[in-house]
């Protein structure tokens, strides 16, 4: 019995030793400490580049906006800047390290009514793969004419996404993995989708028939929002202002507080649920029957048409009446 225990302990020890050696080997390979990485190993060659160098304008292309109906931008290790101008042309610029090879620059193409700006997918074994997860190292700039009326989608992995200007679109979809979304200006679109994994979302004026805003570990703020839709975050707070309640509104946060500001003359049905936080309202609430401390439902105003549903686990809920 003792021998079996010793044998099992030995196997565990060898397993831990193997894991440690593997981790050290991977670290040495990725850090360039072993020459076999650059020169190839067992007949295999691997991509490697030392970024460094100054960030400079690497490419710029201009296209006519006429008959353009869709723009798609997919960055990797880029901060993305989108602006709207009075020009009649679309301009795309990429700023990157002067040492980046051509193969790592974005591909810019127009085919018919679609313009695409796509970053190459990095090889899983190369430095580019790690670089794409370690923070923004380049910048993409997209300048669109304000009269563009099509679909616009933009996403990046390890960079921030910043929007400036005023526009009217059919559909807008913006997302980032480890960066923030910052929309300064006025956006009007039939459908809007904004998403971030580990960054906050901030929007000035957003008007849409249907909107969806989501963040996993960041807060969401919208200073002027209208339409119907949902706003959700896991570990951040929500602070929203509805200029007009033109559709149902659903707000959800797991570990953050939620505040919603509404016009004083708003009429709506509500369901407010907070497991361990306070619920406060500037509006006089008409309650539906018996209620619990953590959950109340009822109506505000005369002849309510739309709903306001708010749910949080460990945060507070507050309804703010504008103008008071």
Alpha carbon distances (Å) from 191 to 170, 183, 231, 301? 7, 16, 14, 28
User: For residues 245 and 227, what is the distance between their CA atoms, to the nearest angstrom?
Assistant: 7
Name, in order, each residue with C-beta under 8 angstroms of 303's C-beta and a sequence gap of 6 or more. Answer: 267
pLDDT of the residue at 35: 33
The answer to whether the pTM exceeds 0.85 is: no
**Residue 125's pLDDT is what?**
40
Relative to beta strand 70-74, strand 258-262 is: unpaired
Spatial distance between the Cα atoms of 11 and 23, rounded to a whole number of angstroms: 18
Q: For residue 293, what pLDDT is reported?
A: 63
What are the mean pLDDT values of the chain's consecutive 10-residue runs (324 residues total)?
Answer: 46 52 42 34 36 84 97 93 96 93 93 95 48 63 97 94 96 95 96 95 96 95 95 95 94 95 95 91 79 79 94 94 85
Residues 6+ apart with CB under 8 A from 260: 238, 240, 241, 242, 249, 251, 308, 310, 318, 319, 320
Please check whether residue 154 is in contact with residue 140, taking contact to mean a CB–CB distance below 8 angstroms.
Answer: no
Count the helix, strand and coil residues of the chain and give each as a percent rounded to the nearest 5. 15, 50, 35
Q: What is the pLDDT of residue 41?
A: 33
C-alpha 298/C-alpha 272 separation (Å) is 9
Spell out a b/e string for 92-128, using b for 16 or more CB atoms within 10 Å of the CB, else e. Answer: bbbbbbeebeeebebebeeeeeebbbebeebeeebbb
pLDDT at residue 24 in the model: 43
Query: What is the enclosing helix (H) or strand (E) of 212?
Result: strand 201-215
pLDDT given at position 127? 43
Tokens matching residue 283: 């509006």
pLDDT given for residue 170 in this prediction: 97
């Amino acid at each position: 019995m003792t021998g079996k225990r010793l044998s099992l302990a030995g196997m565990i020890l060898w397993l831990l030793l193997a894991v440690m050696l593997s981790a050290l080997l991977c670290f040495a390979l990725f850090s360039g400490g072993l020459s076999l990485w650059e020169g190839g190993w067992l007949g295999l060659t691997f991509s490697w580049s030392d970024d460094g160098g100054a960030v400079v304008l690497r490419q710029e292309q201009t296209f006519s906006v006429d008959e353009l109906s869709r723009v798609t931008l997919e960055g990797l290790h880029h901060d993305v800047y989108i602006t709207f101008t009075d020009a009649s042309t679309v301009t795309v610029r990429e700023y990157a390290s002067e040492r980046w090879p051509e193969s790592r620059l974005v591909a810019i193409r127009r085919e018919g009514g679609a313009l695409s700006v796509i970053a190459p997918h990095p090889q899983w074994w190369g430095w580019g793969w790690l670089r794409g997860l370690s923070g923004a190292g380049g910048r993409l700039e997209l300048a669109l004419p304000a009269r563009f009326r099509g679909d616009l989608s933009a996403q990046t992995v390890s960079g921030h996404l910043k929007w400036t200007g005023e526009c009217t679109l059919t559909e807008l979809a913006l997302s980032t993995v480890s960066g923030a979304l910052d929309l300064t200006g006025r956006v009007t679109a039939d459908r809007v989708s904004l998403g971030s994994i580990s960054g906050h979302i901030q929007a000035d004026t957003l008007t849409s028939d249907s909107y969806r805003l989501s963040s996993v570990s960041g807060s969401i703020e919208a200073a002027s929002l209208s339409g119907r839709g949902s706003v959700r975050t896991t570990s951040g707070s929500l602070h929203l202002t509805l200029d007009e309640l033109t559709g149902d509104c659903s707000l959800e946060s797991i570990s953050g507080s939620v505040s919603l500001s509404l016009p004083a003359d708003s009429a709506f049905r509500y369901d407010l649920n907070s497991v361990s936080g306070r619920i406060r309202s500037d509006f006089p609430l008409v309650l539906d029957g018996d209620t619990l401390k953590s959950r109340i439902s009822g109506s505000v105003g005369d002849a309510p048409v739309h709903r306001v549903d708010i749910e949080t686990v460990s945060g507070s809920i507050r309804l703010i009446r504008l103008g008071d």
